[in-house]
């Protein structure tokens, strides 16, 4: 069962390891401007605002989360095939909206399926999820090497292969029984009214908005400072290696520190990371340290946030809880991050996008410190 769960995370995050660092490079190769790239990358995040909630509602109402995962994987792959046959901004817009609408429906329901299957052993989540990080590392480092030899036009082909891997892994994933409703369950509205839940969602929104410049323009930013594509791929990989390390440590960390304290620590270290990237990109040791901080800005953050979401949204609310988390953070936050980074990149100096990112994560730190209490 471990490998049947892990293989899905491997392929899903391997596709992310191609899409996030290299899709903006592919779009630039296709002749799109920085603003257009920012807008198109924002669409990938924007569909997460709507898509996970629609599919989460279907999954929670029917109890067939795995069917939702498989349908999203199949339809997303079919929609992506159109990339090979279109050109122009509006055609690319339509294709990216379609494939990301289905692709973004997949992960939140698989997360809920995994956590529901683990039950009381939810601390094992990190050891399963780390294979997603390993997939990301292999994809980002491997494709970086390939792009030093081959044309950027291979990026869509690699993406399509990985989408097929997601579909195959979803077909092999363990089938879940219907989710039984509990009489003690709270309503969705009553959970969303809790101050600590609102604070957590605000923090998730801000930290993902702060990642927008990194996910959209980090490759181009470092290329502008003289780094080769293979070196940039290795930097991306280093960040995720650090992420794997923290996933391995999380089962021990949560035994000694409250989730809220770990979340606050991740926000503070995220702020430091963006400041280092903004002002010291020419110093390789600083850049390497900043990439190691990905262990905090994503690894520690995601592990703590998803555990808190799981604790607040129980029973039949699990699927929608994960969907709301994905929508608010990776969806709304990611879309805002991609959009503002494109606008600022075009109109100001490129370092400004990471300075703004540091400001956003700093605000998130204040919210977490003030409203996310241990007993929340």
Let me know how many helices (H) and strands (E) the chain has, helices first: 16, 0
* Higher pLDDT, residue 324 or 56: 324
Neighbours of 43 (CB within 10 A): 19
Query: For residue 187, what are the contacts with CB-CB under 8 A and spacing of at least 6?
Result: none
**Residue 63, pLDDT above cutoff 80:** no
pLDDT of residue 72: 92
Structure tokens at 26: 């592919």
Neighbours of 235 (CB within 10 A): 23
Look at residues 204, 372, 216 and name the one whose alpha carbon lies nearest to residue 302.
204
Look at residues 359, 361, 313, 371 and name the one whose alpha carbon lies nearest to residue 115.
313
Look at residues 197, 202, 208 and name the one whose alpha carbon lies nearest to residue 333.
208
Give the separation between CA 22 and CA 10, rounded to whole angstroms.
Answer: 18
Task: Report pLDDT digits (tens) over 254-283.
Answer: 888 999 999 999 999 999 999 999 999 999
**Residue 68, pLDDT above cutoff 50:** yes
Give the separation between CA 117 and CA 182, rounded to whole angstroms.
Answer: 17
Mean per-residue pLDDT for 288-309? Answer: 93
**Residue whose entry in the numeric block shows the structure tokens 């379609």:** 98
For 348, list phi and psi in degrees, rounded to 5.
-130, -175
pLDDT category at 10 given cuts 50, 70, 90 is: very high
Look at residues 15, 116, 112, 6 and name the one whose alpha carbon lies nearest to residue 58.
112
Give the separation between CA 302 and CA 111, rounded to whole angstroms.
Answer: 12
Fold classification of 2-175+189-371 (topology level): Growth Hormone; Chain: A; (1.20.1250)
Domain ranges for the chain = 2-175+189-371
Give the separation between CA 28 and CA 243, rounded to whole angstroms.
Answer: 28
Structure tokens at 3: 């490998």
**Residue 186, pLDDT above cutoff 70:** no
Provide the mean pLDDT of the chain: 87
pTM: 0.78
Please, are residues 111 and 94 in contact by the beta-carbon 8 Å criterion?
no
**Residue 51, pLDDT above cutoff 50:** yes
**E strand residue ranges, 207-336:** none
* Higher pLDDT, residue 39 or 286: 286
Look at residues 296, 239, 305 and name the one whose alpha carbon lies nearest to residue 272.
296
pLDDT category at 121 given cuts 50, 70, 90 is: low
351 by DSSP, 3-state: which?
Answer: coil
* Higher pLDDT, residue 93 or 187: 93
Distances (CA, A) of 3 to 10, 120, 124, 128: 10, 19, 13, 8
Polymer length of the chain: 376
Neighbours of 358 (CB within 10 A): 20
**Residue 314, pLDDT above cutoff 80:** no
pLDDT of residue 376: 44
Percent of the chain with pLDDT over 90: 44
pLDDT category at 331 given cuts 50, 70, 90 is: confident
């Amino acid at each position: 069962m471990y490998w049947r769960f892990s293989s899905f995370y491997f392929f899903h995050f391997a596709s992310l390891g191609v899409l996030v660092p290299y899709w903006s490079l592919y779009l630039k190769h296709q002749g799109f401007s920085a603003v257009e790239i920012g807008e198109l990358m924002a669409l990938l995040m924007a569909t997460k605002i709507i898509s996970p909630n629609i599919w989460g509602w279907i999954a929670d109402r029917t109890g067939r989360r795995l069917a939702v995962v498989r349908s999203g994987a199949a339809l997303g792959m079919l929609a992506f095939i159109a990339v090979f046959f279109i050109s122009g901004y509006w055609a690319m817009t339509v294709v990216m909206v379609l494939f990301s609408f289905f692709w973004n429906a997949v992960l939140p329901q698989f997360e809920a399926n995994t956590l529901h299957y683990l039950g009381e052993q939810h601390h094992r989540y990190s050891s399963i999820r780390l294979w997603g990080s390993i997939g990301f590392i292999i994809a980002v480092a491997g494709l970086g090497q390939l792009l030093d030899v081959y044309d950027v036009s291979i990026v869509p082909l690699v993406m399509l292969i990985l989408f097929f891997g997601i579909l195959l892994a979803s077909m092999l994933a363990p089938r879940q029984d219907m989710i039984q409703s509990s009489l003690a369950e709270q309503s969705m509205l009553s959970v969303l009214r809790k101050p600590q839940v609102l604070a957590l969602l605000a923090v998730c929104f801000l930290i993902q908005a702060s990642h927008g410049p990194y996910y959209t323009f980090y490759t181009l930013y470092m290329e502008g400072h003289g780094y080769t594509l293979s070196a940039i791929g290795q930097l991306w990989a280093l960040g995720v290696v650090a992420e794997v390390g923290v996933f391995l440590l999380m089962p021990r960390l949560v035994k000694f520190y409250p989730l809220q304290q770990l979340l606050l620590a991740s926000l503070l270290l995220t702020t430091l990371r963006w400041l280092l990237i903004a002002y010291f990109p020419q110093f390789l040791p600083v850049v390497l340290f900043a990439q190691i901080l990905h262990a905090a800005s994503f690894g520690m953050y995601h592990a703590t946030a998803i555990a808190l979401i799981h604790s607040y949204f129980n029973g039949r609310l699990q699927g929608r809880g994960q969907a709301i988390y994905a929508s608010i953070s990776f969806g709304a936050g990611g879309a805002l991050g991609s959009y503002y980074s494109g606008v600022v990149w075009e109109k100001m100096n490129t370092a400004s996008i990471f300075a703004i990112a540091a400001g956003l994560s700093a605000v998130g730190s204040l919210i977490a410190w003030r409203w996310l209490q241990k007993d929340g």
